[in-house]
Amino acid sequence: MKGATKKPRTDLGRLVTEKPNPVSANLDLKPSLQLARIINSEDAKVAAAVKRALPQIAQSIDIIASALRRGGRLIYVGTGTSGRIAALDAVECPPTFDTHRQTVQFIIAGGLKALGAAVEADEDSPKLGEREIAKKKPGKNDVVVGIAASGRTPFTVAAISYARRHGAKTIAVTCNRNSPLEKAADLAIVTEVGPEVISGSTRMKAGTAQKMVLNMLSSGAMIRLGYVYGNLMVNLHQKNEKLVDRAVRILQLTTGMGRKAAQKALRKAKNSIPLALVMSQAKVNRAEAQRALKAANGHVRHAIAAARSL
């Protein structure tokens, strides 16, 4: 039954991502330049595999944006490389988009220690997968994304099944079609990258595909929510000199101000780029800009339009 939590059969040899790659036969006999060429030529196939999954990626972006707009969460689940890629995407969202750290979360088999050391045994436990996702109390406003190159990792399949039973929208990100993970989720993003250069080393092409997909999911959802203005990260945290300088340049690019004028505008806006943009583009004061942003749920372009009509 779709969504069931029984442990998937272990038939890894039949998975495309586990098969030997004829392109890289006798790899250990190749000179370094040829090694690099082989890896590079195989990597070139990843973007095409992701391209074939763009309709499902776009659908997922809309699902995630809708959930976050309602105050829900995006929760990634993965093991090993998949879990580490999930963690990377999740922790980059607060500094890039000024989201709360609870908005985009990750679960990795083995916990935080697995980010720096392999904890392989935990990925075989459906019970641990259920236990870890249960701690998050997934519900109807949440989206849970399970990531597994093989599509059969028991930890991840069980977590997705649990989340779906409890009303969360669920998305599978995998590199093998018709997998247990795909069957457990509401929607699947399948990037068929083929056999790895080093057989079974899914940190390579499969991992690259996963990184590309997660980039699109989180960035796409944040763009839909209005946390990007044009193609500029207007919600960034100004935590160091580089980011403070970027904030000034963003305001210059969007308004045509000189550097000193942009710095002054930011000071008036208490160093908030969205506030500075609404104030400068709609010619309103800080309080009016704050009200417009609140009414627009932080969507900068919508807030500017609303403030102009005041």
Distance (Å, rounded) from C-alpha 157 to C-alpha 78?
9
Residue with tokens 């004061």: 285
Burial state string for 215-246 with b = 16 or more CB within 10 A and e = fewer than 16: ebbbbbbbbbbbbbbeebbbbbebeeeeeeeb
Of the candidates 162, 121, 156, the one whose C-alpha atom is nearest the C-alpha of residue 142 is 162
241 carries an active-site annotation: no
Q: Tell me the pairing of strands 104-108 and 143-147.
A: unpaired
196 carries an active-site annotation: no
Distance (Å, rounded) from C-alpha 50 to C-alpha 194?
12
- Beta partners for 200? none
Residue with tokens 């272990």: 10
Amino acid at 1: M
Given 123, 130, 132, 196, which residue is catalytic?
Answer: 123
Of the candidates 190, 128, 188, the one whose C-alpha atom is nearest the C-alpha of residue 162 is 128
Residues labelled as active-site residues: 92, 123
